[in-house]
Amino acid sequence: MRKNVCFALSIALAVLFSGYSYAQDARVTFAVGDIYVISAKAGGVSVVEGKVALSRKAGKNGLLLKNDQLEAGDRVTTGPDSKAEVLLNPGSYLRIGSNTSFEFENTSLEDLRVKFHSGSAVIEVLASDDFAINVAVSGTSFKLNRSGVFRIDVTGDGGARVAVWKGRMTVNGDDVKSGRVAIISGSNAAVAKFDRDGGDDLDVWSKFRAKEVAAINGRLERNAMRSSLLNAYNNGRWNAYNSFGLWVFDPIRRMWCFLPFGGGWGSPYGYGYSFNMWYCRMPYWVYTPPVVPPSGGGGVTPTQPDPRVVRSQTPPFQRTNPDGSPGGGINRVPPTSTSGDSTRDRGGRLPRNNDESPRYDKTPRYETTKPISTPEPSTPIIVPPSSTRGKSDKDN
């Protein structure tokens, strides 16, 4: 009882503190009464360490701050001993090291484009042909179209090295797979093998951050998450056809994490996302294609799918495997009932010693929507009369 009261009090204080902290701050906004902030946008700043400069396209310059929102044309430059983490399409992260400069050329999830001017970066990607990340560096563009981890280093001679630690990218029409590095000079790119046993502080920090955000995902509260998701959906802030999941800001831990729409998803580093939208038991209509609102001149009816965001009648997370390859053979649409989940406590949290702790493998287990039936016993159970219960054979 005391534990439940303490938890409820902590949630209330978190909401009150968040509302006070961000009342005059447009960087993080949420509906009144919501615990979590829901976002489906790219460009959010989740971590800033050291001094990082921001030059806005509109002409306003200053320091980059946590929870800033970057737009196309905004340029970010880190100083010595500085780092920053920026959210890309939901599930993907851009982590930059010291003395690095980059900008977004486009922040749309349909055509996400990043340009590097100098320095080093690690990109942790959940990607597919639908949600690829386009990167420009040293006069060459390449596409990250499979989930993985990619290291970018702009060299002093105007060239660049792009290493595929895990995943796949396309450079000049050629695929570059795991364990290969593309050495870029002008418009040319030579591919060679590289040693994946190495790594520097940026690589170590990137992996640490992947582990940290996976742990935050596992501590999300089901009931509060469901309410925040419904409010954000009803306000048109997300749909199941624009990404593989959503960004969620946890006001208690004051950090962003990824919420996948379906089960079996995890970081390319190997840390699984143990909480997904399956646990929220969302109503069925959130999985239907979004529609174009009716216009005054007629023509488009509100029952027609929006051609700007709908590629298929099946949500992308259901027809794509977690590694970004085409899939869809397994039903990954979450059930919509509001029945309880025995793996979680009353607040919807996963216990710390639960078997669903963060993990990921190449053959993930997916939740099923079919109920599990218990067979009837083959032999009837005979209960003795009340007068003889509890007596031994000797007493009888």
> DSSP code of 284?
G
Q: What pLDDT, in 10s, does the model give residues 103-131?
A: 999 999 888 999 999 999 999 999 887 78
Q: What does the pLDDT read at residue 114?
A: 97
H helices of 222-330, in order, are 222-234, 316-319
Share of the chain above pLDDT 90, in %: 46
Q: Which fold has domain 43-204?
A: Jelly Rolls (2.60.120)
Q: Are 322 and 364 in contact (CB under 8 A)?
A: yes
Cα 46 from Cα 294, distance rounded (Å): 37
* C-alpha distances in Å from residue 161, one per residue of 126, 184, 206, 297: 21, 6, 18, 53
pLDDT at 370: 38
pLDDT of residue 199: 81
User: Distance (Å, rounded) from C-alpha 294 to C-alpha 214?
Assistant: 40
For the segment 288-305, the average pLDDT, to the nearest whole number, is 53
Longest dimension (CA), the chain: 98
Its pTM stands at 0.74
The predicted structure's pLDDT at residue 391: 46
Question: What is the predicted pLDDT for the residue at 312?
Answer: 57
What CA–CA distance (Å, rounded) separates 365 from 353?
A: 19
Q: Please write the tens of the pLDDT for every residue from 190-237.
A: 899 988 777 899 999 999 999 999 999 999 999 999 999 999 999 889
Strand order in the sheet with 245-250: 37-39, 245-250, 255-260
Percent of the chain clearing pLDDT 70 (strictly above): 67
Q: Is the pLDDT of residue 354 over 50?
A: no
| 3-class SS of residue 47 | strand
Residues 1-52 have pLDDT tens digits of 554 545 444 444 444 444 434 333 434 445 555 789 999 999 999 999 999 9
Q: Give the phi and the psi of residue 141 in degrees, each rounded to 5.
A: -110, 145
